Amino acid sequence: MAVMRFLKGVFSIKLQSNTNQITEIKGNRRKLNFLPYILVAPALSIITFVVFIPILEALVMSLRSHDLRRPNEIEFIGLGNFIKAFHDPQFWQAFQNTLIWVIAGVGLQFFFGFVLALLLNKQFKGRGVVRAVSLIPWATPGVLIGLMWKWIYDGNYGVLNDVLMKLNLIEQNIPFLSQTSSAFASVIVTIIWQGIPFFAIMILAGLQGVSQEMYEAADIDGASKLQKLFWITIPSLKNVIMVTILLRIIWVSNSVDIIYSMTGGGPSYSTQTLSVYIFNKATVLDLGYASAMALILMLLLAIVAIPYLKNTFKEG
Amino acid sequence: MMKKNTTWMKLITFYIPTFTILLFLLFPFYWTFVTSLKPELELYGTTVTYWPNDLTFLSYQKLFNEFNFLKPMFNSFSSQQ
């Protein structure tokens, strides 16, 4: 029954607009229109198979000691996996790392992407080429990005050490990815590198929709460039910025490929985010524990995303 | 005097930031490209070179001969359908 009510809620707008005329003619008798349900059914059934059923399976697995290394001991243990996570210091470190990874990663991606979008919005020779070329990092596979940067950061043969050495900034080579003090910052720089073009392209697209008349009016009033930026550009782009940041928060907190191919979560778990920890647990076949943590991560993302979306579209 | 001032402003507010961000975004690709053209000895040598001293296409030959690169390439394209 709850499902029916939910479905009715989802489709109520369409149903009402379709049945308005019918209800007017036939008085209070409301006839259920089946057409919308039939039209939605194919998409809904595919989503059920590829999204809902796997999530349900993860939910079931998270309630069992589903460790394939001990196949004879798989049994229902209730919330055991979740309790285990709350007492697991590695889980809390991964949780803390995820927060830093998302806040520093997405924050700086946004900042540099915004600056790049403003720069690429100006008229200059070769703008098309520069726009196209600056998108390449976004089109590069995550594992490849990890390998490229791993080679740049290399402690013996890496180019970054060589550049810093030539600029006299360091005295001896730094093994960026193999010491705990620098490994996490290094992988964060890599995710920032990957995300800048995405922010730039989204904000650049948003900038095309900002009406020029507002800038002209501001010019007549004698507004400075900074005033125009803060009172026209940013408020006009609010929805684009909010949606892009949300998408990026979800992708960055779920991303495994870059960290996994660069450090695998090490040294001594200093680069292990929740998604990497989940992946590491799943690769050693402790599927129950991995599913439980995946559900916790999903819940955390939902807690961030739902109020965020509500706030963003409240006025619009 | 005014003209010179605006050129400087443009350099600081436009050309330098654009160049810096582009350098950051594109250098890894340049580096991957240069690395692909270096012989193994130069990759693990004592000095880092910014353009191969001894340019070679051996890595590309290896890619297609030993690792059968056409197969994964074909797989990438065929999975799009």
| Helix axes A238-254 and A274-283, enclosed angle (nearest 10) | 30
The model's pLDDT over A208-258, given as tens digits with 9 standing for 90+, comes to 988 888 888 888 888 888 888 888 888 888 888 988 999 999 999 999 999
pTM of the model: 0.81
Give the distance from CA A214 to its chain's centroid: 33
> Which DSSP symbol is given to A169?
S
Cα separation values, A307 from A224, A237, A302, A310, Å: 35, 19, 9, 5
| pLDDT at residue B15 greater than cutoff 70 | yes
Residues of chain A neighbouring B50 (CB-CB closer than 8 A): 159
- Quick one: pLDDT at residue A1? 47
Nearest Cα of chain A lies from the Cα of B48 at a distance, in angstroms, of 7
Per the document, the length of chain B is 81
Taking the CA atoms of chain A, what radius of gyration do you get in angstroms?
25
Which pLDDT score, from 0 to 100, does residue A315 have?
59
Among A54, A56, A57, A59, CA closest to A78: A59
CB contact under 8 A, B21 and A115: yes
In chain B, the percentage of residues whose pLDDT exceeds 70 is: 91
Q: Omega before A235 cis (within 30°)?
A: no
DSSP B81: -
Residue in chain A nearest B14 by alpha carbon: A119
Low-confidence residues of chain A: pLDDT under 50? 1, 13-25
What pLDDT is stored for residue A27 in this prediction?
53
Residues of B in contact with A145 (CB under 8 A): 28
pLDDT in tens, A114-129: 999 999 988 888 888 9
Task: Report DSSP letters for A6-42, one per residue.
Answer: HHHHHHHHHHHHHHHHHHHHHTT-PPPP-HHHHHHHH
Residue A34, chain B, CB below 8 Å: the answer is no
Window 13-52 of B: residues touching A by CB (8 A cutoff) are 14, 17-18, 21-22, 24-26, 28-29, 31-32, 35, 43-45, 48, 50
Q: What pLDDT, on the 0 to 100 scale, is given for residue B81?
A: 47
Residue A10 confidence (pLDDT)? 52
Q: What was the pLDDT predicted at B79?
A: 65
Rounded Cα distance, A90 and B17, in Å: 40
